[in-house]
């Protein structure tokens, strides 16, 4: 007499609820089988064989679990979740399924595990716990400088940038901060922004060879007699940085013969003789 299908599903799902390690990792597959069964009121021969093979695992012995590794991975998963590190959390959960099924990690898996654990140490967790309370005005200023740079370029981190520039009280997560502010491009922007200006307001300057000016937030080439023009520094840092390059501080320059000032990066200017 053919067995009823639903009791098999019930037994397997009860095992999932009990976190039975013998069938770890197969939950999504069994859910898909059950959804198909509810729609069609039947399973194909191969689907039924697959379901029965999973049920048969419940009649086997419990696997020997490396409890030390299990604790290690559980800790990493929890810490990654608190830090908003989804990839690491998913990675740890995947390894947990293997370990709870009695399997040993490969050398490559252990190598990656060690690397990601280094991003979630005790010190990192302590810093994360106090992150919001220790978010200083200086950190906010840096974050806003970088956010204005990314808004000007129109690329990357748009969601975080919108939050930074629309809410003066916004505090990013530590992970958001590192992605936005601590990348190598942002560091170049901050270095130029906070560096001492090479030129002062009122100083006479000229374009360097190959210079560009900022027009509507973009760098535009200079041609003809314009590239020979001289002008006076009107302001320093009045325009957001638009380049992640050395000496990208922006100056407002009023060139002789022009009625409107021009925005020029420090690297494209030089001192001029009167």
* pTM metric for this prediction: 0.58
Q: 31: helix, coil or strand?
A: helix
Q: Tens digit of pLDDT for each residue in 169-208? A: 999 988 899 899 999 999 998 988 888 999 999 999 999 9
Q: What is the DSSP string of 218-255?
A: EEEE--GGGGG-EEEEEEES-S-----STT--EEEEEE
- Angle between helix axes 184-194 and 137-153 (nearest 10 degrees) is 110
**215: exposed, middle or buried (Cβ count in 10 Å: 0-12, 13-18, 19+):** exposed
CA atoms within 13 A on the CB side of 91: 19
- Mean pLDDT rounded to a whole number for the chain: 89
Model pLDDT for residues 90-115, shown as the tens digit of each residue: 999 999 988 888 888 899 999 999 99
Of 175, 74, 171, the closest CA to residue 124 belongs to: 175
- Beta partners for residue 163, in sequence order: none
Tokens 């390690």 found at: 21
With cut-offs at 50, 70 and 90, classify the pLDDT of residue 2.
low
Q: What is the pLDDT of residues 216-234, one digit of tens each?
A: 888 888 887 777 889 999 9
Strand partners, 226: none
State the CB neighbour count (10 A cutoff) for residue 31. Answer: 13
Structural contact between residues 34 and 9, judged by C-beta atoms closer than 8 angstroms:
yes
């Amino acid at each position: 007499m053919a067995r009823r299908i639903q009791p098999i599903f019930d037994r397997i799902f009860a095992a999932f609820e009990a976190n039975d390690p013998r069938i770890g990792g197969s939950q999504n597959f069994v859910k898909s089988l059950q959804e198909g069964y509810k729609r069609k009121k039947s399973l194909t021969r191969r689907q039924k064989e697959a379901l029965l093979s999973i049920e048969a695992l419940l009649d086997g012995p419990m696997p020997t679990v490396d409890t030390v590794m299990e604790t290690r991975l559980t800790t990493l998963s929890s810490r990654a979740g608190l830090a908003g590190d989804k990839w690491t959390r998913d990675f740890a959960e995947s390894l947990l399924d293997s370990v709870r099924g009695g399997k040993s990690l490969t050398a490559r898996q252990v190598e990656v595990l060690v690397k990601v654990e280094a991003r979630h140490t005790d010190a990192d967790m302590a810093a994360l716990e106090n992150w919001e309370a220790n978010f200083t005005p200086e950190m906010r200023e840096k974050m806003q400088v970088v956010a204005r740079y990314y808004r000007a370029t129109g690329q990357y981190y748009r969601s975080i940038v919108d939050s930074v520039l629309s809410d003066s009280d916004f505090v990013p997560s530590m992970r958001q901060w590192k992605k936005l502010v601590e990348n190598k491009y942002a560091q170049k922007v901050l270095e130029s922004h906070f560096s001492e200006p090479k030129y002062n307001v009122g100083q006479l300057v000229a374009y360097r060879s190959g210079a560009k000016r900022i027009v509507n937030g973009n760098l535009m080439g200079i041609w003809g007699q314009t590239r020979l023009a001289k002008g006076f520094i009107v302001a320093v840092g009045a325009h957001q940085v638009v380049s992640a390059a050395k000496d990208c501080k922006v100056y407002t320059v009023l060139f002789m013969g022009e009625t409107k000032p021009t925005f020029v990066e420090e690297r494209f200017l030089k001192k001029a003789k009167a």
